[in-house]
Amino acid sequence: MHYVIPAWDLPALAVAGSDARFPVRRIFCVGRNYVEHQKEMGGDGREQPFFFTKSAHDIVPGGGEIRYPLKTENYHWETELVAVLGSGGLRITVEEANDHVWGYAVGLDMTRRDLQQWGKDHGRPWSFGKDFDQAAPIGPVTPAARIGHPAKGRIWLEVNGETRQDADIAMMIWSIPEQIAFLSQYYTLAAGDIIMTGTPAGVGKAKPGDRLVAGIDGLGTLEAKILPPL
Ligand code: MN
């Protein structure tokens, strides 16, 4: 293939225990998928979750140093289990959904909360709040072929050594199979699509110099060190 401008590399995640990488196509994210997080965001804990998207180019494979983003004064962490799809389809059932999941990783749905809130207040899109440079640090993918399909296990975040998020993925309102079934009613899902499955309570404001360490049982940890803004 010839392109009229130089093409870029496919965004791709590391794979635990392998030199091969997992190419990322689209990023779907679930909002308000844990009751206690709904409450801390001002909800009553009885809302239906929903989806938004990020660009595949927002990923920061393996984390590491990330830059405090532009035009925000309220930059938040959200620790999330990430499910990556090895195949897809339309109108996938809950029962067959796990057959499409290739593996799992720890991710951070980094958020410019002030810009997201502006969007909410003005009936405008969330894109500037959620989809920006380096908005999705994601650790190595552990294959489902190795660990199965985790439905419970601790999910946590330490900021500068202090625990800020501490919950269990069993507390998700919509399970991963339910998320896949729901999404596939609206999109033809495909290999390479990934889902950030929502954050538990304990979101908060990151600042330059902070060191974030996120973890999920069985999936290892993901570190992000926040650099000063440009
Ligand atoms: Mn999130």
Cα dihedral 160→165→170→175 (10° resolution): -100
- Kindly give the distance from the C-alpha atom of residue 52 to the centroid of ligand 1, in angstroms, as a whole number: 9
- Kindly give the distance from the C-alpha atom of residue 28 to the centroid of ligand 1, in angstroms, as a whole number: 10
pLDDT digits 0-9 by tens, 8-44? 999 999 999 999 999 999 999 999 999 999 999 999 9
Alpha helices by DSSP H, listed for the chain, are 35-40, 94-97, 113-122, 127-130, 144-147, 176-183
Percentage of the residues of the chain whose pLDDT score is greater than 90: 100
Residue 86, pLDDT score: 98
User: How many Å apart are CA 22 and CA 24, to the nearest integer?
Assistant: 6
Cα-atom radius of gyration of the chain, to the nearest Å?
17
- Kindly give the distance from the C-alpha atom of residue 178 to the centroid of ligand 1, in angstroms, as a whole number: 17
Mean pLDDT, rounded, for 124-150: 98
Look up residue 130 and give its two tokens: 């959620």
- Kindly give the distance from the C-alpha atom of residue 160 to the centroid of ligand 1, in angstroms, as a whole number: 21
Which is it for the CA torsion 178, 222, 26, 109, positive or negative? positive
- Kindly give the distance from the C-alpha atom of residue 12 to the centroid of ligand 1, in angstroms, as a whole number: 20
- Kindly give the distance from the C-alpha atom of residue 198 to the centroid of ligand 1, in angstroms, as a whole number: 5
Could you give the domains of the chain? 12-227 (3.90.850.10)
Q: What is the mean pLDDT of the chain?
A: 97
- Kindly give the distance from the C-alpha atom of residue 38 to the centroid of ligand 1, in angstroms, as a whole number: 11
pLDDT digits 0-9 by tens, 146-182? 999 999 999 999 999 999 999 999 999 999 999 999 9
- Kindly give the distance from the C-alpha atom of residue 196 to the centroid of ligand 1, in angstroms, as a whole number: 7
Of the pLDDT bands very low, low, confident and very high (cuts 50, 70, 90), residue 1 is confident
pLDDT digits 0-9 by tens, 73-110? 999 999 999 999 999 999 999 999 999 999 999 999 99
Nearest to 163 by CA among 87, 214, 200, 103: 214
| pLDDT of 211 over the 90 cut | yes
Does this model's pTM top 0.95? My answer is: yes
